[in-house]
Structure 1
Amino acid sequence: MKTTSHLFTSSHLGFRTWLESDLEAFSQMNVDPEIMKYFEKPLSIEESQAMMDRMNRMFDDKGYCYFAVDLLATGELLGMIGLGWKTFEAEFTPCVDIGWRIRKEFWNKGFTTEGAKRCLEYAKEIGLQEVLSLASSDNKASIRVMQKIGMDYWLDFDHPDLKKSKHLNPCSLYRIKL
C-alpha cells in the first residue's frame, strides 16, 4: 500500500492530485471500451498523461479538478471523481461540473456516489455556489448518481464538442445549488 497525502477523504476514499505512478492504471482504464462507452473515444497513454497534467494545472489554478481517488483500505487507484471547469459554448457555460470515471471492478459498490457527495461538500467548502453535471442521456448509471447526490434535472442539449459522436447526444444536464 502506497502512502499518499490526501487533500480530503470520505469514509472509503482519498482524494488527491495526480502522480506519475497513476499513469499505468489510469491509462488502462481509459482504453477499456466499456468504461469509455459514453466518451468520444478511448484515450492513448499520451492522452491519459496529458489529462493528468491538465488536472494538476487546474487544481493549481482553481483549487479543484477531477481528482485521483484512492480506495483508503488498499491504496489502489479507484479512478477519478471531482470538479471541472467547462467552457464549451452553451447557455450555461462557463460552469463548474462534477464528473467521474472509475475502474470497472469498483462499479456498483456505492463508491461513485460516496465520492461525488464528498466532492460536493468540498465544492461548498471552497465557496462554490452551484455545480452542474452532464452525461449522455443514454448513460443511465451516471444520471442515477446525479440524482442520488441531490442534483435536479435541468435540460437536455446537444453538446457542441460531440457533433461527430452523434450517439452521445443529446446530453442531460443536472444542477445543484450549494
Structure 2
Amino acid sequence: MRLATERLILRPWEDKDRDPMARIYGDAHVRRFSPKVLTVAEAHLRIDLAVERARTNGFHYQAAELKGSGELIGLIGLGVLSEVHAAICSHPRVEIGWMLAKEHWGKGLATEGARAWLDYAWSIGLLEVSACTARENAPSQRVMQKIGMIYDPTSDYENPTFGEGHWLRPGVVYRKRNPTLHELHPID
C-alpha cells in the first residue's frame, strides 16, 4: 500500500528505514508515553512485525517519508489491535496511529498522514477506526481531534502494559465512523 499527500509518501517499509526508525524508537522524548525506548534490535523486530502484519491484514503501520528529500520521519498507519487492547470494553478492531521524529512535530504531518490513512480505511469499507493512547498523551489526542475523531469515555481502559498506579496506565479511546457507511451499518 502506497499513499501520497501534499508533503508525505506513506509506503511499505524498506531496509534503508531500519536505522532511521531505530533512532526514533530509541528517543526517550518520542517514547515518553510508551513503556520504554527500544533497542536497535527491538526496532528492527517491530519493522519485521509490521511487514508481516501488512501481509496478513492488508495494512499496518508504514514508513512516512518527506516528499522530495525522501527522509524517513517516522511511521503512520492502521493496525489491527493487539491483545494489549483487549482491556477496552468496546473491543475496537482497527486503530490508527503515528510516531514521528521530534524534529517533525508541530508541522501538521501526523494529521496530514492520518487523514490519508482514514480515506484509505473508508475506501476498503471499514466501518470504524479507533485511536488509543495514554490519558496523559495530549499531543496525540490533539491529532485525533484534528482528524475528526470523537473521544469515547465509555471505552476508557487500563493498559495492562503498565503496573497498577503507573501514570500511563489509564488509557483513552477516540473513534471515527465511516461517513458513508455508518448509516447503513450502525455500530452498537
Scaled to the shorter chain, the TM-score interval is over 0.9
Which amino acid is the alignment partner of residue 81 of structure 2? K
Q: For 1:121, which of 119, 122, 126 is the aligned residue?
A: 119
Deviation by residue 1:24-82 (Cα, 9 ceiling, x = unmatched): 10001111110000000000111111110111111111111111011012100010000
Change (3 A) 1:165 1:37: farther
Q: What CA distance in whole angstroms lies between the structure 2 residues aligned with 1:104 and 1:164?
A: 29
Moved over 4 A (4+): none
- The equivalent of 1:162 in structure 2 is 162
Asked whether 1:135 is paired with 2:130, we answer: no
* 5+ long unaligned stretches in structure 1: 1-5
Which amino acid is the alignment partner of residue 62 of structure 2? F
Same amino acid, percent of matched pairs: 35
Cα deviation, residue 116, structure 1: 0.6
Q: Structure 2 length as normaliser, TM-score?
A: 0.88
* 1:166 aligned counterpart, secondary structure: coil
* 5+ long unaligned stretches in structure 2: 179-188
Cα deviation, residue 94, structure 1: 5.3
Aligned length: 173
- The equivalent of 1:103 in structure 2 is 101
Q: What CA distance in whole angstroms lies between the structure 1 residues aligned with 2:55 and 2:92?
A: 18
Change (3 A) 1:111 1:168: same
Mean Cα deviation higher: 155-164 or 15-24: 155-164
Asked whether the 8 Å contact 1:86–1:94 carries over to 2, the reply is yes
Q: What CA distance in whole angstroms lies between the structure 2 residues aligned with 1:105 and 1:78?
A: 9
Change (3 A) 1:164 1:52: farther
Asked whether 1:62 is paired with 2:60, we answer: no
Q: For 1:36, which of 26, 31, 42 is the aligned residue?
A: 31
* 1:101 aligned counterpart, secondary structure: strand
* 1:93 aligned counterpart, secondary structure: coil
Change (3 A) 1:165 1:72: farther
